[in-house]
Chains A and B, each alone.
Chain A
Amino acid sequence: MTEGVVVTGMGIVSCIGFNVDETLHSLMIGKTGIGKISILDSIHRDEFVLGEIKLTQKELMEKLGVDLNLPWTRTALLGVWAARQAYQSAGLSTNSGKRIGLVSASTVGGMDRSELYYKDFLTDAIRKNHIDTHHAGNSTEMIADDLNIHDYLTTISTACSSSLNSIMFGARLLRHNLLDAVIVGGTDALSRFTLNGFNTLMILDHEHCRPFDATRRGLNLGEGAGYLVLERTSDALAGKKQVIAQVAGYANANDAFHQTASSDNGEGPFLAMQRAVAKAGITAQDIDYINVHGTGTDNNDLTEGVAMKRLFGDQVPPFSSTKAFTGHTLGATGVIESIISILSMNNDKVFPNINFKEVIEEINLVPVSQLTDLHINHVLTNSFGFGGNDSSVVFSKVPSNISGL
């Protein structure tokens, strides 16, 4: 009854690659992008490792060839970079008569510049240009202006689950025929604000993170952006578009347990996964692989594991966290891992949960820790955040006769 929605374009920028091909390559050879801090100017520089994109603000602006007179935030630049790729790979154009929208996600918006210029806002005439780049919608508007998008735009922020929710909302806009194509995803740059914030929570690992490992000590932050182009299945087929994946199911649930900690029984994550699978019209047994949220914090991995066991019983499908490659990219993490999930599915490979050695006794779940061949028809990806915001999305393989690949 409801109209299907498919992915017709992808774009991604993170510490493991500046485009889809580079990302795939890093995942295949098991190369992490996490390392010593060299871009972010923080007193914690030597204390932590980060998934940084190794380009300065100036280098980013030059690389993208953007108007240097505009007040760019790093968040906006990363967003523009990934969104351009998605737009081009889907073959979109603004004079096609199609209604094109943009639904982007971000957690701290333009904080990367605000935290540098905050004390100058009242005195420095040049810095004042950055007063209005602070709000979370700024990067969305910078991307929209770069791609000349006018038909619809909005921004979502639900902490670390933000960009999975932009996929959901975008799919709804298509199903209600309010748009013909929608660019969905998110962008977040590293900032001292988030590094220090997570540090006060004492959930940052000083070493490389070890998701789902018994000795895990916390997460590594990262930065990046990712966007998908979504279109209705019928339009994509009529337009003989390349169809990359189907957005089969999605759900958003709230743990309603505690502001930062997740519940012992993993209720929110359980509901998000269960409802997403139901929405896809499949059963839990049909899920071939899960790209888990797996941040490497004590609390998340335990809860996520408990929730997976509740849904899948003793038949938990092969799963891995790819955060030891990219770091936790906050508002971008949902879409970045969606792209990784799609790459996994379309290449029939499970990318490894690197740094895993020792199983967590309480849940006794072993992630896939080596690159593994696996036939994947349906992939589930999770993102959970503060405020109890939990989201899951199911992507399904496109039948080979219509994929156009």
Chain B
Amino acid sequence: MGWFDYFRQGKPNSAQLAKERLQIVIAHERIDRTGPDYLPQLRRDIMDVIRKYVPITEEQVNVQYEKGADYDVLELNIALPERER
């Protein structure tokens, strides 16, 4: 670290941003590989159906898959955009 760095304070912490982005993308990829094979396709199909009615992005559809002792739970969480007035 040279003397120049003393003038460069207050910049955003990019490592924190990297960590947050990684946590999201890895969580998605883990669900895809631990859940049933049809899960990625199911998510895409659900997106397509909802898009017929409202514009949504991939981040607004959250698919969770949990293995239980007796049954597995597929949880869908869709954040609809606010209605325009």
Q: Do A and B come from one complex?
A: no
